Amino acid sequence: MIPISWVFLLSLSLFVIGLFGVLARRNLLFILISLELMLNAVVILFIAASRYHSASMANSDGQIMYLLILTLAASEIAVGLSLVVHMYRQHHHLDIDKLNKLRD
Amino acid sequence: MTDYSSLLALVPLLPLFSALILLFSKLPKLWISIFAVGSVASVALISLFLNVIFWQQSDFVLTSSLGTWINLAQLNINFGLYLDPLSLVMITIVSGVGALIHLYSTGFMYQDSDFKRYFTYLNLFISAMLFLVLADNLLLLYLGWEGVGLCSYLLIGFWYQDRKNNLAANKAFLMTRIGDTAMAIGLFLLFTQLGTLDIQEIQIKAHAVWSLTNDNNNNTMASLCCLLLLGGAVGKSAQLPLQNWLPDAMAGPTPVSALIHAATMVTAGIYLIARNSQLFQLAPDVLYLVALIGTFTLLLGASAAMVQTDLKRILAYSTISQLGYMFLALGVGAGASAVFHLMTHAFFKALLFLAAGALIYSLHHEHNIFKMGGLLKKLPVVAVSFAIGCAALASLPFTAGFFSKELILAQVIASGHSGLWWAAILGAFFTAFYSARLFFVVFLGPTQLSPNAKPTKSMSLALVILSVLSLFGGIHPEGLKNLMPQLDTDGLSTLQHWLPILLPFIAISLAWWLFKTKRFGKPVPTFMQGVHQLVKSGWAFDHLYQTIFVSPFKYLCQVNKGDFIDLFYRLIEKTSGRLHMAFSQFQNGQLRRYNASLVIFCILAFAWFIRGELML
């Protein structure tokens, strides 16, 4: 069996990559993708923790959590993407540094 | 007795109603005159009637209540009126002289466009003054006291387009306010000490409370109360050291000077002390101070009056000096003579002011006496009444002023203060001298201006009546004899008896000699100029107060322009402003920066929570 620390490392690196994407990218679409990446990093950790704690699947809270987060991510991305499409139609670009009209 | 209570209630209310009618209505001048003069004249008739009823009685009391003013657990104040011999004399003077001056004013002010406003103020003044002298408690007295102060302010600044008049009005108001503040504190102190503000109760309780704890014939608390009340009296009656507002108060119309700044309002201080005479007798030191203040003031006023050139300022300084005589009389314990002199002074000084007003009216508002002259033939009525006024002021024998002033001088001797007596004699000499100078220069000097208007009939009538009163009004009101213990005046020496009678003649002869040799109006010799200037400016009190109080105050204001206290609050405001500027840097509209700060904060918070584990 793979040691849990490997899964931790994998989850952590995925999360940091996602975080970096959120902070560094200027394109809204890529930010959304990076957000998905961060969510998935968390989800992997949930499943691994669930498996690690009860090998006989007596406690499957983590996996239920995975399903929940998956649904949430799907609905979030649906709303988010439709906003992105509208935004693109309005401004013809997705640069968030310039999309700051709500400031002030 | 109760039949007269409602009559008494009418006394202060009639002028008040008349003032209200004038205030809220638009009437032609004739009707304004009828209302204004009529209300005060009917009050004068009422007081005359009351005089007839209570003729020569010395212990009657008539009360009347107009309702409740303040009703708290400890403090019950009624609009209560209290008539006894003292207030009867006062209301007779106020309404009688007031009615004559109202009558005179209808002629004097007829050309003025603010006729109605003038009579509104004048009626309001009479009402406030009557409340003052009739009040049965000190708070109502204080209401009237402030009311007459207000009317005095309004009437000094009556011709408000001239900035000078406004400044004079402000000066009068502020100077008297100093005294009034002392008086208000005195009222608070009396109330905390004695638990009442009713004047009669105060006299009784003061004797009960303060006489028992009386060891060396002087009680500190009684003295303190009397001192504070004296402060108010000194301010209102223009005595040292608050005397220098009165000469400037002559900026108002001349009938106003006659009514307010000679006959009635300025005597309120004397009335206050006479009214509380039993309280003041508990503080002999304060009474002696009253006498000293009066003596110094009478010398100051009389000496300053000798060198003035403005007709009204001579009369103003003369008023200050005559009020000094009344204070002196009060101080030596001769309250009745003080009130007697108050009465005769009201007659002859009102007469002098009204005659002066007629002169000013006839001569194009000329105030300088050296530009008048030779008016004896041209204005005979004015000249004769002025002569009578001057004679009464100089206390020539058998005028009204003679009886009252002789009585005061005799009482001063009887009280044993011979130093004060000599000072008062010197003052009497000065008085006769400046009265004679004034009359000679104005009426007998070389003709210069010729009058362009004759005094109207109403003016002449008022002058004639006041002349008669100044000649024959020297009847001592018998009812006053219970005011203060009578002093024995039998043991006067020949000198003490004859000097006050002969002195005016000597002074008048001296003035006549100086006038005949044409010494008046000449430039003063160089070595005397400094003294002359000093005396003419009323012993430079204006300058003194300017240096001691006004200039340092203005300097402090200049220094504190930025306001020390505000510095602290401005610091708070600046700090929060700076913090705002600093934090608002974070809100730059860049989503990525918001995210970064979120992440940094999360990491920091996480580090904070797990710091215990990290240490291990």
Q: Is the pLDDT of residue B520 over 70?
A: yes
Q: Which residues contact B192 (CB under 8 A, 6 or more apart)?
A: none
**Given an 8 Å threshold on Cβ–Cβ distance, is A23 in contact with B587?**
no
Q: How many Å lie between the alpha carbon of B572 and the closest alpha carbon of chain A?
A: 26
B78 has which bridge partners? B68
Query: Cβ separation of A22 and B595 shorter than 8 Å?
Result: yes
Burial B52-87 (b: 16+ CB within 10 A, else e): eebeeeeeeebbbeeeeeeeeeeeebbbbbbbbbbb
Identify which has the larger pLDDT, B168 or B218: B168
Looking at residue B365, what is its pLDDT?
78
DSSP H or E stretch at residue B140: helix B138-156
Tell me the H-state helices in B537-590. Answer: 541-545, 551-559, 564-584
pLDDT one-digit tens code per residue, B444-459: 878 777 777 778 888 8
> Integer distance in angstroms from the first to the last C-alpha of chain A?
55
Which candidate in A25, A87, A96 is best for mutational testing of the B interface (most B CBs within 10 A)? A96
Q: Do B590 and A104 touch (CB under 8 A)?
A: no
Say how many CB pairs under 8 Å bridge A and B: 24
Residues B376-381, mean pLDDT to the nearest whole number: 82
Whether the CA torsion B455, B456, B462, B465 is positive or negative: it is: positive
Q: Which of B585, B586, B587, B595 to mutate to test the interface with A (most CBs of A within 10 A)?
A: B595
* Chain A residues touching residue B590 (CB < 8 angstroms): 96-97, 100
pTM above 0.90, yes or no: no
Confidence of residue B403 (pLDDT cuts 50, 70, 90): confident
Percent of chain B surpassing pLDDT 90: 30
CB contacts of A23 in chain B (<8 Å) are 592, 595-596, 599
What does the alpha-carbon distance between residue B140 and residue B133 come to, in Å, rounded to a whole number? 10
- Residue-level pLDDT at B1: 47
Strand (E) positions, B468-512? none
The domain spans of chain A are: 28-97
- Indicate yes or no: CB of A103 within 8 angstroms of CB of B592: no
Q: What are the tokens at B18?
A: 């008349």
| Residues A73-89 pLDDT 10s | 999 999 999 999 999 99
Chain A CB contacts of B595 under 8 Å are 22-23
Alpha carbon of A19: minimum distance to chain B alpha carbons (Å): 9
Q: Report the DSSP beta bridge partners of residue B76.
A: B71
Query: Which of the given ranges, A3-7, B195-199, B346-350, B448-452, has the highest pLDDT on average?
Result: B346-350
Contact A97 B588 (CB under 8 A): no
Contact B591 A19 (CB under 8 A): no
Task: Report pLDDT for B595.
Answer: 83
pLDDT at B385 over 60: yes
pLDDT at B185: 94
**pLDDT band of B187, cuts 50, 70, 90:** very high
Query: Pick the residue with more confidence: B493 or B261?
Result: B261
CA–CA separation, A43 and A22 (whole Å): 18
Inform me whether the pLDDT recorded for B208 exceeds 90: no
The structure tokens listed for B398 are 């058998």
Which residue shows structure tokens 């009335």? B271
**CATH architecture of the domain covering A28-97:** Orthogonal Bundle (1.10)
What pLDDT is recorded for position B217?
54
User: pLDDT at residue B181 above 80?
Assistant: yes
Mean pLDDT across B151-157: 92
Predicted confidence band of residue B482 (pLDDT cuts 50, 70, 90):
low
Distance separating alpha carbons of residues B565 and B569, to the nearest angstrom? 7
Q: How far apart are CA B463 and CA B135, in angstroms?
A: 31
Average of per-residue pLDDT values in chain B? 86
What DSSP designation does B369 have?
Answer: G
ipTM greater than cut 0.90: no
| Span B433-441, average pLDDT | 90
- Distance, in angstroms, between A71 CA and closest chain B CA? 24
CB-based contact B282:B194 (threshold 8 Å): no
> What are the tens digits of pLDDT across the range B283-323?
888 889 999 999 999 999 999 988 888 888 999 999 999 99
Per the model's pLDDT, the better-predicted residue between A54 and B134 turns out to be B134
Provide, as residue numbers in chain B, all residues whose Cβ is less than 8 Å from the Cβ of A24.
592
The confidence score (pLDDT) of residue B39 equals 92
Is residue B214 pLDDT above 60, yes or no? no
- Which pLDDT value is given to residue B553? 92
pLDDT above 70 for B484: no
Q: Write out A24-87 in H/E/C secondary structure.
A: HCCEHHHHHHHHHHHHHHHHHHHHHHHHHHCCCCCCCHHHHHHHHHHHHHHHHHHHHHHHHHHH
The C-alpha atoms of residue B171 and residue B607 are separated, in whole angstroms, by 74
pLDDT at residue number A57: 67
Q: Which of B590, B595, B596 sits opposite A97 (nearest CB)?
A: B590
Least confident of A24-28, B150-154, B368-372, B488-492: B488-492
Q: Which tens digits make up the pLDDT trace of B544-583?
A: 888 999 999 999 998 888 788 888 888 999 999 999 988 8
